[in-house]
Structure 1
């Protein structure tokens, strides 16, 4: 892609990473568990292997785009050389929560507990996305007027296009169940979780609501989502907790209560067991209620 393969922007206020683009030609970057406090996009141009994400395993191959949200644990183990490019950006640089209406990536590309954390790219789509990466790098190499805003614009387009691809692939996957029986159960389960995750934390509660035995629902959930139902519910709670920690001034006690936990300390232990970081540390490192003023990063 470029003669120099790593380009970075640093937040001038705190010295932390704001934005980074780099090429890789081996698996040393991702062959151990990652828990980053920023969003990570990885395009695999060549190579194949197994991705471990949130304790679930997925096979992947070349022409794959991964999308990971802050503190989502992931690891890529390849069978040979892994070649591609990665983009990393902090909430302070671009907050997908605040720009949800513009790009619709939150809940589809990122923070989507119901779908795999990657998409397959047709050759044309891969080239298009890589072209935007090249445009971003071109801006990073300059000191041009309003450079950061231009980079954010390219990043938005990249995210919109990737989100479109994922939506299209979801439609194809749903069409692959002609009988529609499991599809109906899965859709009802998703609706039930979205409506009740703040108050219903037990897998058996959802089985009863859907008029299925716990074992039957467990099999369907594991087959379709590659997760247990308990993990699915927990993931949804954690995503909401992260959103509240970032976007609001609510205390951790208030957030815990709104998510169905009377004991703030039990909630904090639950959060840390799932993310490997405390709620307060997440708020401190991801960025509490920042980003409203726009891009604040610079070299």
Structure 2
């Protein structure tokens, strides 16, 4: 089993920060405390079960679960038994989900999906693909030959596409409406309303009025199905957009705040720090900015 304890790390030669990392773990010491990393994390729990605490919610997970987190997304894994598996961590400078979302189709599915838990159940076919890609990545990490970055990105893309397809298929099954239950239709309308209006409407009551349902009833349905409040959903959606703008553009923070419905830049900065645990400027400094043409 010694070979499974290997850790392979690639460091950005310019700033010395983590660019890409692959490691196997056999206990929960890596993730048993709150994580707020400035890179993407994909964690495959192969053995063990426990409770995932992420953002505003808690979820139970079992063996063969793949977890996915964006930069500065808070999470921790609680378990009474040892967890074993493998993790991939990569900085947006190494591979940016925001820029390449059309290629890998994982933005809004695997990552940045506020309406579904941040995990996917791994079936046998996908597990075989994951294991093959991990073996290729491991071999390539020890190979300093020409075009190493391009090959690693190619393997990472296949891994992420496989995970996104799997999660998309599982979501399609979950979305099948019950003819006797109108709640899924209301939730569909709520998601559409948030996607259209999150920049201008920030209160739960706005959406209750829009959907012609009482605020109390909508709150109950939302908590039951999403394990979050409406305010949580709105806040998370705003933060996702803010992070995308901070990374992909060099717009002043004041301009980003205004586009998201905040006339007061300082109020927006407090809101961002409350929900992301870092200031907009620190997020931009540690995750990157102005890379739209990179």
Asked whether the two chains share a fold, i.e. TM above 0.5, the reply is yes
Q: Which secondary structure state, in structure 2, belongs to the residue aligned with residue 235 of structure 1? A: helix
1:73-104 deviation per Cα after TM superposition (whole angstroms, max 9, x unaligned)? 00001120100000000010000111111111
* 2:140 paired residue number: 139
Consecutive unaligned residues in structure 2, runs of 5 or more: none
Distance 1:124 1:51 in 2: 25
Partner of residue 76, structure 2 = 75
1:188-233 Cα distance to aligned partner (Å, 9 max, x none)? 0000000000000000010000000000000110011110000100
Aligned position for 1:236: 237
RMSD: 1.2
* Alpha-carbon distance in 2 for matches of 1:277, 1:32: 18
Work out the CA distance in 1 between the residues paired with 2:191 and 2:291: 31
Change (3 A) 1:99 1:92: same
1:11 aligns with 2:12: yes
What are the within-5 Å matches in structure 2 for residues 50-199 of structure 1?
A: 50-175=51-176, 177-199=178-200
Looking at structure 2, the residues matched to 171 and 107 of structure 1 have their Cα atoms a distance apart, in angstroms, of 14
Aligned length: 293
Separation of aligned partners in 1, 2:156 and 2:207: 38
CA shift at 1:3, angstroms?
5.6
8 Å contact from structure 1 (residues 93, 291) kept in 2: no
Q: CA deviation at 1:122?
A: 1.0
Deviations 1:17-61 (A, max 9, x none): 000000100000000100000000000000000000003100000
Offset at 1:143?
1.5
The corresponding residue for 1:289 is 290
CA contact (8 A) 2:22 2:138 kept: yes
Asked if 1:249 corresponds to 2:255, the answer is no
> Which stretch shows the higher mean deviation, 28-37 or 123-132?
123-132
State whether residues 56 and 232 of structure 2, in contact with CA within 8 Å, keep that contact through their aligned partners in structure 1.
Answer: no
What is residue 214 of structure 2 aligned with on the other side?
A: 213
Question: Is the 2:5–2:25 contact (alpha carbons within 8 Å) kept by the matching residues of 1?
Answer: no
Point out the more displaced range, 206-215 or 4-13: 4-13
- Aligned counterpart, 1:222: 223
Preserved CA contact (<8 Å) 1:19 1:93 = yes
Structure 1 Cα separation of the partners of residues 293 and 156 of structure 2: 18
- State the TM-score, normalizing by the size of structure 1: 0.95
The corresponding residue for 2:35 is 34
Q: Which moved more, 1:147-156 or 1:137-146?
A: 137-146
Answer whether contact 1:40 1:69 (CA < 8 A) is retained: yes
Structure 2 CA distance for aligned equivalents of residues 257 and 57 of structure 1: 32
Deviations 1:130-178 (A, max 9, x none): 2111111110011122111000000001111100001000011112634
Distance 1:145 1:196 in 2: 47
CA contact (8 A) 2:54 2:73 kept: yes
Contact 2:4 2:24 in 1 (8 A): no
Is the 2:249–2:291 contact (alpha carbons within 8 Å) kept by the matching residues of 1?
A: no
**Residue 260 of structure 1: aligned partner:** 261
